[in-house]
Amino acid sequence: MLEKQQNELQLLVTAGFRAKSMEEELEVAEKKLSISRTISQLKQDQSQVDQQLLNALLKQIDSHSKSIQDLQERLATAISIHENQPTELNTKLDEYKCEMTQMAVMNRLKENVWNIDVGKLKVQLFTKKSHLRI
């Protein structure tokens, strides 16, 4: 019976060690779980911060893109205006040359009319002088 009691006692001690060991393992597992949850929460928090930063950067990029697009459009307009200026100036010069040619022709016509009128007046004057001498 003593041997039986010794065996039972030994079983109890072994069971106690196992229970103690399992309790320690459970505590370690709980600590690991707690650490894992904390890490998961930190990762989630960091992910939210990263997303906020990413959204802010995307807004800045969008704003800069719009500014760049506006500048490109203004530059294209300015270049277009400057490219058209020589053509416009050449057109104006051609118009002025045409007007000057027309004015020169008109002046020659007027000069011819005046010369004819002067000729007529000379004839009339000569005729009057002739009549006065007679």
The boundaries of the domain holding residue 4 are 1-94
Instruction: Give the chain's domain count.
Output: 1
CA-CA-CA-CA torsion sign (42, 45, 47, 53): negative
In 3D, which of 134, 52, 6 has the Cα closest to residue 44?
52
Read off the pLDDT of each residue in 94-111 and give the average, rounded to a whole number: 96
Whether the predicted model's global pTM rises above the 0.75 cut: no
Residue 31 lies in a domain: yes
DSSP state of 134: -
Residue 41 lies in a domain: yes
Residue 47 lies in a domain: yes
Residue 113 lies in a domain: no
Given a cut of 70, is residue 5 above it in pLDDT? yes
Q: What is the pLDDT of residue 60?
A: 96
Residue 102 lies in a domain: no
Given a cut of 70, is residue 134 above it in pLDDT? no
Q: What is the pLDDT of residue 13?
A: 74
Residue 124 lies in a domain: no
Q: What is the pLDDT of residue 81?
A: 81
Residue 36 lies in a domain: yes
DSSP string for residues in 51-85 = HHHHHHHHHHHHHHHHHHHHHHHHHHHHHHHHHHH
Residue 7 lies in a domain: yes
